[in-house]
Amino acid sequence: MTKKWDAVFIGSGLSALTCGAFLAKKGMRVKVLEKHYRIGGYAHSFSRNPYRFESGIHSVPMGPNGYIYTLLRALGIENKIETISHNCMYTAQFGDIQYVIPSSPDALRPWFYEQFPNDRSDINALFDDMAFLYKEIIDPLFRFEKKGNETNPHILDKYQKQTYKTYIESYIKNPELQNIFFAQWPFAGVVPEIASTTFFTLLFYVHAVEGSHYIKGGFGMLAEGLADVIREHGGEVTCSSEVISLCKENGKIKHAVLASGETIEADRFISNISPDTLLEQLLDTESTNRLWVRRSNQLTKASSALAVYLGFDNDINALLPENILFWYKNSDFTKMNKRITNCDHTSNDHLIFLKTPHPEQKSTLFLMKFANESETINWATEKDHIADSMILDAEKIIPGLSSHITCKVTASPQTFRRYTGNSGGSLYGYANLADRYSEARIPMQTFIPNLYQTGHWCRGVGVWNVMESGHTVAQRILAENII
């Protein structure tokens, strides 16, 4: 050991990089350890010449007055990140019926009024309640205060007593209109019948207020921008540095041991990896906490996916104008969830189309359906068969699409587990379910005083939430330093 750090991060997802950037900017000595050859977690791209594919993230609310840009301005890197507005928040398609929900905050309510003139009063009531929740829960974050539900948990009582489905139904009586709000569920992978009202309400309304965006150059630009803050303030971000154990002394973590045999000593450690990996692999049995293990085991992991990365020989904008399309065979979301849970891939009842809005790049498409890792499926042999069935159905939805495919890369739940370390290849950490236990999730302060957890295991999913999680952990650490 040649140097002791103030804070060492295990994993380099956006949550860890956000936290590390704020700590480094305040003068702390920060080191980030990433086991892979590049940083960012899902915020990175990969190439199959001449194509570049986003590995996972395609849309983030990043309006200039939004929360993420508030964080970027605080770090002084807002001018390093250039966004491209998506042409829709999402497009919901049930069979052949399609609804293109605008991404512009100014256009959203007028669009709903135009499409559903007889439901105007219901629409206003729902949006007003969403605005109330946003103001109470989210507004404090812009002032770098505690999240609203931490200072006044009673605000959430109304929302935690129901599912997202029953919440929408309590305001909207028109089933067709209800389905438009239900259709956003792929953003977090939980169907409305079991989904958290708080999370999905804010998910919709944050996009409604802050817009829907892509980052020019890919979401890896955001990861690199945050990493640059760490480096510019004397920190280090190192790849191919896998942590294999954390060693405890006098009740605290003293150092991390890398696969190379190197040891890294620090005053505190922040885990941005799966709590399962942390508890079962990095800590010895004596260092774990039974209550924490039980809590982790009782929380439901979010689904993984079968994803097909497609490259085309022409511009596919004429065939697929919308950047984000959620297609459903019907609106029986409960049945869809049952098929996902049971790993039933005999047919496709939902498909997700995510297109990169980058005019300088050759056309690519991320085609996906939710899937769970299962011992009953040999993904090595089956993933391409399932992918081909998805492409066949995509051709029926968008005629002419398949004839222009020149590149195909398929990823299974095992692929996502291998590259992220997430249990079961989970896309979103723990599932955002409606029960109170799932709302609580994993605490950011672990049972070891100088060990923290951050990322989508603690907060909700998505770039917005994981960056909020990282900033919150940084605030707590800095407050402890002052004390």
Burial 311-322, CB ≥16 within 10 A → b, else e: bbeeebeebbeb
* Phi, psi angles (nearest 5°) of residue 35: -80, -25
Same domain, 342 and 284: no
Same domain, 256 and 401: no
Reported confidence tier of residue 1, pLDDT bands at 50, 70, 90: very low
Same domain, 351 and 268: no
pLDDT of 40 over the 70 cut: yes
Q: What are 372-396's pLDDT values in tens digits?
A: 988 778 998 999 999 999 999 999 9
Q: Could you tell me which residue, 361 or 397, shows the higher pLDDT?
A: 397
What is the spatial distance between Cα 218 and Cα 260, in angstroms, rounded to a whole number? 31
Q: Is 184 exposed, middle or buried (0-12, 13-18, 19+ CB in 10 A)?
A: buried
Same domain, 471 and 326: no
What is the spatial distance between Cα 81 and Cα 222, in angstroms, rounded to a whole number? 7
Question: Is residue 254 in a domain?
Answer: yes
Final residue in a domain of this structure, among 380, 408, 427: 427
Question: Is residue 111 in a domain?
Answer: no
Mean pLDDT of 200-210: 95
Q: Regarding beta strands 236-238 and 405-411, do their DSSP bridges make them parallel or antiparallel, or are they unpaired?
A: unpaired
Same domain, 321 and 308: yes
Question: What is the reported pLDDT for 436?
Answer: 56
Distance set, CA 12 to CA 253, 445, 449, 470 (Å): 19, 18, 22, 11
Question: Is residue 349 in a domain?
Answer: yes
Question: Is residue 409 in a domain?
Answer: yes
Give me the amino acid identity at 286: E
How high does pLDDT run on average in the chain?
92
Q: What are 150-165's pLDDT values in tens digits?
A: 656 677 788 888 999 9
What is the spatial distance between Cα 199 and Cα 464, in angstroms, rounded to a whole number? 12
Question: What is the reported pLDDT for 179?
Answer: 98
Same domain, 326 and 393: yes
End-to-end CA distance of the chain: 28
Sheet of 324-328, strands arranged across: 97-101, 90-94, 324-328, 350-355, 364-371, 304-312, 405-411
Distance set, CA 432 to CA 91, 129, 180, 201, 240 (Å): 22, 20, 19, 12, 31
Question: What is the reported pLDDT for 374?
Answer: 82
Instruction: Dump the DSSP string for 382-436.
Output: HHHHHHHHHHHHHHHHSTTSGGGEEEEEEE-HHHHHHHH--GGG-SSSB--BSSH
Residues in contact with 391: Cβ distance below 8 Å, sequence separation at least 6, in sequence order: 308, 310, 367, 402, 405, 408
Question: What is the reported pLDDT for 151?
Answer: 55
Phi-psi sector, 4: left (phi>0), alpha (psi -120 to 50), beta: beta
Final residue in a domain of this structure, among 384, 402, 427: 427
Q: What is the CATH classification number for the domain harbouring 33? A: 3.50.50.60
Same domain, 312 and 347: yes
β partners of residue 150? none
Q: What are 113-137's pLDDT values in tens digits?
A: 999 999 999 999 999 999 999 998 8
pLDDT of 146 over the 80 cut: no
Same domain, 376 and 478: no
Reported confidence tier of residue 92, pLDDT bands at 50, 70, 90: very high
Same domain, 231 and 286: yes
Length of the chain: 483
- pLDDT above 70 covers a percentage of the chain that reads 96
Three state DSSP letters for 265-303: EEEEEEECCCHHHHHHHHCCHHHCCHHHHHHHHHCCECC
* Phi, psi angles (nearest 5°) of residue 2: -110, -15
Same domain, 294 and 308: no
SS3 (DSSP) at 329: coil
Identify whether the C-beta of residue 53 lies closer than 8 Å to the C-beta of residue 309: yes
Final residue in a domain of this structure, among 383, 404, 427: 427
Question: What is the reported pLDDT for 412?
Answer: 95
SS3 (DSSP) at 250: coil
Question: Is residue 93 in a domain?
Answer: no
Tally of domains within the chain: 2
- pLDDT above 90 covers a percentage of the chain that reads 74
Mean pLDDT of 240-267: 96
Instruction: Give the count of beta carbons closer than 10 Å to the beta carbon of residue 333.
Output: 22
Question: What is the reported pLDDT for 422?
Answer: 86
Same domain, 313 and 408: yes
* Phi, psi angles (nearest 5°) of residue 150: -85, -30
Give me the amino acid identity at 467: M
Range of the domain at 467: 4-57+219-299+432-482
pLDDT of 430 over the 50 cut: yes
Question: Is residue 40 in a domain?
Answer: yes
What is the spatial distance between Cα 190 and Cα 200, in angstroms, rounded to a whole number? 9
Same domain, 415 and 475: no
**Which residues in 191-284 belong to E strands, given as ranges?**
213-215, 236-238, 243-249, 252-258, 263-271
310 closest CA partner among 390, 256, 427: 390
Q: What is the CATH classification number for the domain harbouring 360? A: 3.30.70
Question: What is the reported pLDDT for 369?
Answer: 97
Q: What token pair was written down for 460?
A: 């909700």
Reported confidence tier of residue 483, pLDDT bands at 50, 70, 90: very low
Distance set, CA 157 to CA 140, 160, 435 (Å): 19, 5, 12
Question: What is the reported pLDDT for 152?
Answer: 67
pLDDT of 201 over the 50 cut: yes
Element (H, E) at 335: helix 333-341
Question: What is the reported pLDDT for 158?
Answer: 83
Reported confidence tier of residue 421, pLDDT bands at 50, 70, 90: confident
Q: Is 81 exposed, middle or buried (0-12, 13-18, 19+ CB in 10 A)?
A: buried
Question: Is residue 213 in a domain?
Answer: no
What is the spatial distance between Cα 465 and Cα 15, in angstroms, rounded to a whole number? 9
Q: Is 37 exposed, middle or buried (0-12, 13-18, 19+ CB in 10 A)?
A: exposed
Question: Is residue 96 in a domain?
Answer: no
